[in-house]
Amino acid sequence: MAKSKNKAFNYWANPHEEALYNDLVKELGYKKRTTFFKDFLHGKPIILTSTEAGDYTNQEPKFKPNSVQIQQLDSYFISNYTVSDAENIDLDSYRKIEDLVKLLKSMKATHHQLVDVCLKLLNKILVKFDFEVGAPQITPLPQDNELKKSIQTRLENAKRRKGKRSQQKVNIGDLMNVDGQVNSHPMNQNKIDVSPIVQALLDSIVAIETVQNDNGNSDYLNSKTEQLEKMVRSISKPKTFYFNHDFIFDKLKNINIYIYSHDLENLSVITQFTANMSELNASIKDCHLKFNNDKSTKNDKVKTVFDLRKKIKATVLNQVELILEEGSK
C-alpha cells in the first residue's frame, strides 16, 4: 500500500516488469526514470513528437535578422538608383493582408517603398503561418492505438512471467495524491456490510422456533443454515489488497499519451512554405556576398539588390497565396 506523504514510492516487481518499466522510459522519450514515474503516476499527459512534426514554427522571429539585412541592402539601392517620381505610400493605412497584396501587385520592383510593403506583408503572413498552419496539434491517442495496445499486452505478459519480486523505490515528490488513490481503492476498504448476516440470523432464529413448535419444516432451517455458513466462509477468506504495484499496472494500462504532430492535410503546405523561406534566405545570403565582394562596382551592387527585390516580391506573393488558399479550405 502507498506510503505517507513525502516518502519514496515503494513497490514490488519481478525482473520482467522492472525491465519493461525501464524500456518504457526510453520509448516514451524520457531521460530520467523518476520523471517518467512522477508523470504517469500523477496522470500527467505524456506527449510524443511525431517524426513528421519537424521544426516548422517560429518562422517570424527566425526571419527577423534577415529582415534587417534586407533593409540595409535596400537603403543602398534607394540611395543609388534614380527612379521616376513615385508617390509616398502611407503604410499605416494598409492593415489588412488583402489590401497589402493588392498594393504590392501594383508596385514596380524599383519603387522606393517596395521592400517596406514586402516586409510588412511577409511579417503578417509569417505570424499567420506560425499560429494557424505551422503549429503542431496535440491530440490524445485512443485506447485502440497500436502503441497503447502494445503497452497493455507487454504489461500482461510481464505480470504473468515468473520471477522473484524485489522491492523497488522511486522518488516522485509529494505522495498525497497517489496515497489517496491507493488507499481509497475498494479492495483496501475494511468495511463489511453486516446487515445481510443479521437478517440471516434473524431468519434462522424464526426457522428454529417454527421447527421446535412443529409449525415449520427442517428444509427451510437447513437453507438458512447453509446461507449463514456461506456468509461466514466469505468473510473468513484472506482479504485481497490493492498494492502500489497494482497501481503502477493500472496507470500504465491506461497511460495518458498524446501525439504532437501536424495535420497531414497541412503538411504539404508547411513544407512548401518553409522551402520558399529557405530559398529566400539563400538569395539574401547570396546578395550579401556579391554586395560585399571587393570586385563589385556600384552598378553591380545596385543590380544585385534589384534582383533581390524581385525575388522578395515574388516570394511574398507566393507565400500569401499558399496561406490564404489553406485558410479558405
DSSP 3-state of 137:
strand
Query: pTM for the whole thing?
Result: 0.63
Which pLDDT value is given to residue 4?
45
SS (H, E, C) 147-193: HHHHHHHHHHHHHHCCCCCEEEEECCCCCHHHHHHHHCCHHHCCCCC
Which pLDDT value is given to residue 5?
47
Give CA torsion, residues 137, 142, 148, 153, to 10 deg. -170
**Segment-wise mean pLDDT, segments of 10 residues, the chain, 329 residues:** 61 94 94 92 85 73 96 95 78 94 95 96 96 86 90 94 89 79 75 63 65 60 70 61 88 90 83 96 96 94 97 98 79
Give CA torsion, residues 223, 224, 225, 231, to 10 deg. 110
Which pLDDT value is given to residue 70?
97
